[in-house]
Structure 1
Amino acid sequence: MSTMSARDTVTPITHDERQKRLKALQHSLPAFALDAVMITPGASMRYLFGLTWRETERLVCAVVSTKRVVFVCPKFEDTALLAALPTPHDFAWWEEHEDPRSVVTSVLSENNCQRVGVDPSCSYGQVFALGNLTAATLTSAGPVLQSLRSQKSASEIALMQAAKTLTLDVHVAIFEWIKPGMRMSEVIAEIDRLHRAGGADNGSFFCAVQFGEGTSHPHGVPGDPTLAKHELILIDTGCTIDGYHSDITRTYALDKQSEDVETLWQLEKEAQAAAFDAAQIGRPCGDVDAAARSVLEAHGLGPDYQLPGLPHRTGHGIGLEIHEGPYLVRGDDTPLAAGMCFSNEPMIVVPHHFGIRLEDHFYMTDTGAKWFTEPQKSLYQPL
Structure 2
Amino acid sequence: MNLPVSAPRISSEERLQRLARLRDTMAMQRIDATLLGSTESLRYFTGLVWHPSERLLGAVITQTEIFYIVPGFERSRVETLPHLPGEIRVWQEEESSADLVASLVPQNGILALDEVLPLFVYNALAGAFGADRLVDAGPLIRPLRARKSPAEIAIIQYAMNLTLEVHRRTHAMIAPGIAASDVVRFIDEQHRSLGASAGSSFCIVSFGAATSLPHGADGEQYYCPGDAVLVDTGCRIDGYHSDLTRTYMLDEPDAEFARIWSIEREAQQAVFDAARLGAACASLDDAARRVLTEHGLGPDYVLPGLPHRAGHGLGLEIHEHPYIVRGNDTVLEEGMCFSNEPMIVMPNRFGIRLEDHIHMAAEGPRWFTEPAKGPQYPFG
- Normalising by structure 2, report the TM-score: 0.96
Q: Deviations over 1:43-69 (max 9, x none)?
A: 101111111111111211211122332
Number of residue pairs the alignment of both structures matches: 378
Separation of aligned partners in 1, 2:233 and 2:111:
37
**Any idea what the Cα deviations from partners look like across 1:139-169, whole Å, max 9, x if unmatched?**
3211111111101011100100000000000
Distance 2:321 2:83 in 1: 28
Contact 1:201 1:242 in 2 (8 A): no
Q: For the structure 1 residues 125 and 157, does the alpha-carbon distance in structure 2 shift closer, same or farther, using more than 3 Å as the test?
A: same
Q: Deviations over 1:182-216 (max 9, x none)?
A: 00100000000000000013100000001100000
Structure 1 alignment gaps of length 5 or more: none
Q: Which amino acid aligns with 1:337?
A: E
Task: Indicate the residue corresponding to 1:165 in structure 2.
Answer: 161
**1:32/1:144 contact within 8 Å kept:** no
CA contact (8 A) 1:234 1:251 kept: yes
Structure 2 counterpart SS, 1:71: strand
Equivalences for residues 294-313 of structure 1 within 5 A: 294-313=290-309
Residue equivalent to 2:289: 293
Q: Distance in 2 between matches of 1:263 and 1:275?
A: 19
Q: Indicate which of 18, 21, 32 corresponds to 1:21.
A: 18
Matched, 1:54 2:63: no
Question: Mean alpha-carbon deviation: is it higher for 84-93 or for 264-273?
Answer: 84-93
Normalising by the residue count of structure 1, what TM-score does the alignment of the two structures yield?
0.96
Taking the TM superposition and a 5 Å limit, the aligned residue runs for 1:137-216 are: 137-216=133-212
**Contact conserved, 2:253 with 2:376, CA < 8 A, in 1?**
no
Alpha-carbon offset, residue 10 of structure 1: 2.6
**1:124 matched to which residue of 2?**
119
Q: What is the letter of the counterpart of residue 118 of structure 1?
A: L
Deviations 1:63-94 (A, max 9, x none): 11223322211122222212224432123211
The one-character-per-residue Cα deviations of 1:243-288 (angstroms, maximum 9, x if unpaired) are: 1110000000011222111100000000000000000001111111
Q: Which residue identity lines up with residue 120 of structure 2 in the other structure?
A: G
SS in 2 for 1:126: helix
Measure, in 1, the Cα distance between the counterparts of 2:58 and 2:50: 10
Corresponding position: 1:84 with 2:81: yes
Deviations 1:95-115 (A, max 9, x none): 12212112112222xx34632
Q: Percent identity?
A: 45
SS at match of 1:72: strand
Shift of 1:32: 4.1
Provide the alpha-carbon RMSD of the alignment: 1.4
Contact 2:66 2:85 in 1 (8 A): no
Partner of 1:360: 356
> For residues 107 and 153 of structure 2, what CA distance do their matches in structure 1 show?
38
Q: 1:36–1:113: 8 Å Cα contact kept in structure 2?
A: no
Separation (CA, whole Å) in 1 of partners of 2:277 and 2:320: 19
Residues 209-243 of structure 1, C-alpha deviations (whole Å, 9 max, x = no match): 01100000000121111111110000000001111
Q: Contact conserved, 2:233 with 2:243, CA < 8 A, in 1?
A: yes
1:75 equivalent in alignment to 2:80: no
Q: Secondary structure at the match of 1:316?
A: strand
Q: Deviations over 1:348-378 (max 9, x none)?
A: 0011111000000010011110000000001
Equivalent residue letter for 1:142:
G
Cα contact 2:108–2:133 (8 A) shared by 1: no
Structure 1 ranges of 4+ moved more than 4 A? none
Match of 1:275 in 2: 271
**1:347 partnered with 2:337:** no
Distance 1:369 1:323 in 2: 19
Match in the other structure for 2:31: 34
2:335–2:361 contact (8 Å) kept in structure 1: yes
Distance in 1 (CA, whole Å) between partners of 2:264 and 2:85 is: 51
